[in-house]
Structure 1
């Protein structure tokens, strides 16, 4: 451990603004950017792991409920409805994690586009004010992707297929093990009439379908996609 000089004063102007000297020294600045990149990459990887963990929970719960629901004809069909609710809770958790994860990912893309890519092929920085953008975001971190876009993206990537499987399995469960003479009677849950259950599931699935595929402007910056990204980080 380095000994601190007895006359060291962290409040002095020289010590307080010492990092500012790196702005005028290229070697110090590039070294600082390298350390910054590794730090942001570590943060992004940690949040990426959190997202994957939530996805794993949703997949395991879905598989478990499907296995249990079809293991015997006496199993209640509404266990699959409970599974839909649990998957939506996992989606809500994952959307929150995804929006935080995007903070670190967007910083990495800013460095990759304007520092590392330009070092490999000096064709000019993509954003001339990238240093100002990064400085502002370090001082006042902001979430750059809306809740609507994050929800839509996680639905398309993971949760819409899971919900579709549960809805399809629920429909099969009603028709195979339920009453063939009355689908409405088979869908009844306790005192809740079958019509209300069927209508509720229909509205729920329709809302999920709309949220998943509703066209909207892209706000997330620099993520892999099939079409060119015309949006810039604002």
Structure 2
């Protein structure tokens, strides 16, 4: 459990360090273009997918440890316990990840990534405010107009927010 938990924490740490570094780099120099923060957003999304995949395996290991706790330790203490050997044996022979990728994304978004993304979004808005131009003019990237960039960013955030808020997550044991 500790090893799997550490893997999750490592990915979250990568996300925080990358975000903080790119925010500092972007705000530290007015000549740095705003799309550096967009690259930070997409790196965060990449780390989110990596962490969601890791979280699915963490949940599998957590279930196995829970079976051991509920069964083995109860028997050692002289209590009646459920049949825990068969489910554990099946889990070891035929591992099945207990949650879907969407459920894992929802959990990780709620626990860490929405806050990090919100911070980068707010910094992106601050960068435009500091430029002193209208948001539609300053949000332009190459031939892509500002309204398209804003629409895409709003759509991405709303989809992620909807996933985090409305997607069901399995109950803890």
TM-score by length of 1: 0.69
* Corresponding residue of 2:142: 190
Separation in structure 2 between the aligned mates of residue 96 and residue 55 of structure 1, nearest angstrom: 13
Correspondence for 1:104: 61
Greater CA drift, 105-114 or 210-219: 210-219
2:83 to 113, 121, 129: 129
1:99 to partner: Cα distance = 0.8
Q: Structure 1 65/130 Cα, relative in aligned 2: closer, same or farther at 3 Å? A: same
Indicate whether 1:153 and 2:110 are aligned. no
* Distance in 1, Cα, partners of 2:8 & 2:17: 14
Q: Which has the higher helix share?
A: 2
- Structure 1: 4+ residue segments shifted above 6 A: none
Q: Is the 8 A contact 2:52 2:108 kept in 1?
A: yes
Q: Distance in 2 between matches of 1:158 and 1:185?
A: 32
User: In structure 1, how many angstroms separate the alpha carbons of the residues matched to 2:25 and 2:112?
Assistant: 22
**Greater relative contact order (Cα < 8 A, sep 6+):** 2
Correspondence for 2:158: 206
* Corresponding residue number in structure 2 for 1:37: none
In structure 2, what is the equivalent of residue 81 of structure 1? 38
* Count of aligned pairs: 173
